[in-house]
Structure 1
Amino acid sequence: MTAITDTTATSLTAGQLADLHKAFAADPVLKRMQNAIARVSVDELAVDHQLATALSTTVSNRIDDWKVTNQKKSGRCWLFAALNLLRAGAKAELDIKEFEFSQNYAMYFDKLERANYFLASILETADRPEDDRLVSYLLQNVLSDGGQWDMAVNIFAKYGAVPKAAMPETESSSNTNRMNAVLCLLLRRGAKELRALRHAGDTAGEERARARIITEVHRILTLHLGTPPTSFEWEYTDDKKVFHREGDLTPQEFLARYTTINLQDYVCLVDDPRAEHPKGSTLTVEHLGNVLGAAPVLYLNVDIAVAKAMARDAILDGQPVWFGCDVGPQMARKDGIWDARLYDYAGLYGAELALDKESRVRFGASAMTHAMLLTGVDVLEGRTRRWRVENSWGDESGDQGFYTMADNWFDEYVFEVVVNKNRLSPELRQALDAEPVVLPAWDPMGALA
């Protein structure tokens, strides 16, 4: 064990602790605060009530006229948000107001592909020791539910999409913890086996083991999530009570027929606030992906004001916007609101807590944790004031599941938005062709929403 050798460091003494306790007890305000926090949620004490009640939930431009979805006890927000983006056009094509794609279908193939991707990364790093930082990172981050926009595009491009009725939810798709734990254990055991075979130079054994592991992953996924359809009979009644019998469709045919956007035309804009990653550059993260041989995750780094303007213009044109953010800070979940000044924890505790966005990224205080859909924006005299957000947490919070985001929260906690490339300036479009800066696997920009 490595000892702390800094000669200026001193241990806490009994006398110091006694002085701290005495000073605390002598302050009547702290005593009253202790009594309050012992019985009431600290958020209820820290919230700015006037601000929370003053934040209007109306917006001047609103797209949504549908019900929200519910990811339940799973981390599939990025897939829900991507499929919710696609369903905006599909609803119009089908003339069905309430329609959902199967999120279970998309997750099934993401996990199967990501298992294969993980095994490839393990073999690629087999010459490194287990405690190497990259190998350790890979083994700690085996198969979560989270993902990124480009990973969703990879799944749709290869496997298409199906309506929810063709592959409905199961207990495990809505509550993924046990399934994920089993899959992670299986893949970590597989990593041990494959590394040993690679070190022994047993290429044939390595190929057999990898095929067996994928077979086992497939078996577990199919037991938990069901068998994904290769084709299905598509029949439906639209909102005008007209019956449609479309015959047998493959998932690829269904996606092509009933979606209205070309996924390849979209790019993920990211706000990486660190100075060493200049705006106008492209970024990627090593070992971040799901489908081997598919396009890597690619970010175009822009100022948050640029991302905000493009998101606003898309909504004004009637197009919802997929975005990723650090969802937890300054959120009142029950009310469904975000405001960067909503909670005054510093004032409550008497401690300085403020960090700017760049510092939060550098020091591990903030990263992309959740993806949702922007479906509305309030604009007054050309200035955005607030945003309407379609979440995927069900309809029991906010405005039946739709949230309101103050514009200042967008600046501080939104990290990425997805827009059509035709919205980019000529300079930014040209930047997409530049060689991306490759960030290490553990970089904050590799966080999974």
Structure 2
Amino acid sequence: MTFKITNDDVQAFQADYEKQPLNQVLERAVTKNGIRNASFDWHAQADNDPHFSIDLSTGEVSDQKQSGRCWMFAALNTMRHEMQAKFKLPENFELSQSYQFFWDKFEKANYFYENVINTAELPHDDRKVAWLMTTPQQDGGQWDMLCALIEKYGVVPQSAMPETYNSSKSREINEVLNNQLRHDAVILRKLVNDYGVEDERINQTRKEMLNRVYRILAMSFGEPVQSFDFEYRTKEDHEFHREANLTPQTFFKKYVGWNLDDYISIIQAPTADKKYHQTYTIEMLGNVVGGRPIKHLNLPMDEFKALAIKQLKGGESVWFGSNVSKYSETKLGLMALNTYNYEALFNTELKMSKADALDYGESMMNHAMVLTGVDLVNDQPTKWKVENSWGNKVGTKGYFVMSDEWMDEYCYQIVINKKYLSDELKAAQAQEPQVLAPWDPMGTLA
């Protein structure tokens, strides 16, 4: 049934609006100050002071600046926390995000070519092809994607490969690189359809394309370091240490020393299409062809939070993904459901279930951070300490407070060491994953 808005309807809406004197007061407040400022509730700040019963020492926060590398920063931060404690590194020590950024974009280009070739026989307006071409590559990623990079390329300290203009401000490199990849997709699709996917010209053309991509990235980020010397003074006694001629792989093995297979992704997706205690992967999502695949174990919220608490109690910080855009006050470093009371301001209803918000595009993971503390009252969490990667001028020197209720609604992923899983959960995680569509919300890149 078609419904058209009539002049009578508009006049009725106007009359209803104008008969409430409070509407004019609120109109002046909102037009002058904006929706967020007009709806801010100071009780949220009072309810979430930055003190925690479990509070890990993690040093200074990092700053991803004008780039979408939060997933990378958060993952490398969880690794440097242990390094700082073990080797008494200074609080401002960081692992190189620029090094990982280079290889991520290089590998994503090849992963894109792989998907272009595999879908070349589909029409260009097919949903999968259109999804690929919308964003051939981007800054974002997930935990398993960083593991794939480290397993292949290792890690280096930031001193060995510092930040550049383009690693800190990635808009320009993304614009050029995505242009290049779409240009190449036209050629690859034509080659496959003219000669078949097994034709030797496909791989030769692909290598030529990757050579161009390498050149673009090397000019933008600098060429990745192959060997380097690692020098530092310890935090407490200021002893000088130097180790010469390290490679990224030997540095990771000696100074990080993690078995990446021990760390797995747990998601909290209460949608009807995803059973709990089942594993999932996402079609066409990844970066390293032949590398570690995406794999998530879906758990109920109580089990999800219990694992995060167990890992924090064990002295390990927790990588997590959430929708930081929702009810988040950046300057104060506050994430709480009552931060902004939009419903009271506009006299409306906005509440959706977590499942409906995912299914209808109202919410999805868009940012990764690190849990470094939790406040427990009678063994139940009330708020969480969060290490962000937006520098030290927001929150409490860069640290945020997240209410437990906010976690319930807007946290979707954590990374947990398998040693904290029960035997039943280990068995569940070992299952073969079900494959989700490329556009599934659990495939969103932080």
Normalising by structure 1, report the TM-score: 0.96
Q: Following the alignment from structure 1 to structure 2, what is the Cα–Cα distance between the partners of residues 378 and 71?
A: 27
251, 262, 267: which one aligns with 2:264: 267
Deviation at 1:94, TM superposition (A): 2.6
Cα distance change, pair 30–21 in 1 and its aligned pair in 2 (3 A): same
- Report the AA paired with residue 222 of structure 1: A
Q: Following the alignment from structure 2 to structure 1, what is the Cα–Cα distance between the partners of residues 311 and 431?
A: 25
Cα distance change, pair 236–55 in 1 and its aligned pair in 2 (3 A): closer
Indicate conservation of the 8 Å contact 1:173/1:225, yes or no: yes
229-238 or 103-112: which moved more? 229-238
Q: Following the alignment from structure 1 to structure 2, what is the Cα–Cα distance between the partners of residues 123 and 276?
A: 29
Deviation at 1:65, TM superposition (A): 4.2
Aligned match of 2:9:
16
**Where in structure 2 are the equivalents of 1:84-99 lying within 5 Å?**
84-98=77-91, 99=93
Aligned to 2:159, the other structure's residue is in SS state helix
Deviation at 1:171, TM superposition (A): 0.7
The answer to whether the aligner puts 1:39 opposite 2:32 as a matched pair is yes
Deviation at 1:347, TM superposition (A): 1.3
Aligned match of 2:245:
248
Cα deviation digits, residues 225-271 of structure 1 (max 9, x gap): 01111111222222222122211100000011111432110111001
Deviation at 1:290, TM superposition (A): 0.4
Deviation at 1:67, TM superposition (A): 0.6
- Report the AA paired with residue 413 of structure 1: Y
211, 225, 230: which one aligns with 1:234: 230
Cα deviation digits, residues 190-237 of structure 1 (max 9, x gap): 001100111110624322321121111111111110111111122222
- Report the AA paired with residue 13 of structure 2: L
Aligned match of 2:336:
339
Cα deviation digits, residues 141-187 of structure 1 (max 9, x gap): 21110000000100111100001011000011000001001000000
**Where in structure 2 are the equivalents of 1:121-160 lying within 5 Å?**
121-160=115-154
Q: Following the alignment from structure 2 to structure 1, what is the Cα–Cα distance between the partners of residues 238 and 138?
A: 41
Identity %: 38
Q: Following the alignment from structure 1 to structure 2, what is the Cα–Cα distance between the partners of residues 104 and 317?
A: 30
22, 27, 33: which one aligns with 1:29: 22
Gaps of 5+ in 1: 1-7
The answer to whether the aligner puts 1:221 opposite 2:214 as a matched pair is no
Give the aligned length: 442
Aligned match of 1:168:
162
- Report the AA paired with residue 345 of structure 2: L
Indicate conservation of the 8 Å contact 1:90/1:260, yes or no: no
Deviation at 1:115, TM superposition (A): 0.4
14-23 or 355-364: which moved more? 14-23
The answer to whether the aligner puts 1:409 opposite 2:398 as a matched pair is no
Aligned match of 1:5:
none
Indicate conservation of the 8 Å contact 1:86/1:260, yes or no: no
Indicate conservation of the 8 Å contact 1:236/1:243, yes or no: yes
Indicate conservation of the 8 Å contact 1:63/1:376, yes or no: yes
The answer to whether the aligner puts 1:316 opposite 2:313 as a matched pair is yes
54, 67, 73: which one aligns with 1:74: 67
Q: Following the alignment from structure 2 to structure 1, what is the Cα–Cα distance between the partners of residues 286 and 267?
A: 17
Q: Following the alignment from structure 1 to structure 2, what is the Cα–Cα distance between the partners of residues 418 and 201?
A: 44
Aligned match of 2:202:
206
Aligned to 1:164, the other structure's residue is in SS state coil
Indicate conservation of the 8 Å contact 1:89/1:260, yes or no: no
Indicate conservation of the 8 Å contact 1:93/1:259, yes or no: no
Aligned to 2:172, the other structure's residue is in SS state helix
293, 296, 300: which one aligns with 1:296: 293
RMSD in angstroms over aligned alpha carbons? 1.2
Indicate conservation of the 8 Å contact 1:64/1:376, yes or no: no
Indicate conservation of the 8 Å contact 1:283/1:299, yes or no: yes
Cα deviation digits, residues 84-136 of structure 1 (max 9, x gap): 01101211233113210000001100110010000000000011001111111
Gaps of 5+ in 2: none
Aligned to 2:230, the other structure's residue is in SS state strand
Aligned match of 1:104:
98
Q: Following the alignment from structure 2 to structure 1, what is the Cα–Cα distance between the partners of residues 396 and 257?
A: 27
The answer to whether the aligner puts 1:438 opposite 2:435 as a matched pair is yes
- Report the AA paired with residue 161 of structure 1: V
Q: Following the alignment from structure 1 to structure 2, what is the Cα–Cα distance between the partners of residues 221 and 23?
A: 58
Normalising by structure 2, report the TM-score: 0.97
176-185 or 429-438: which moved more? 429-438
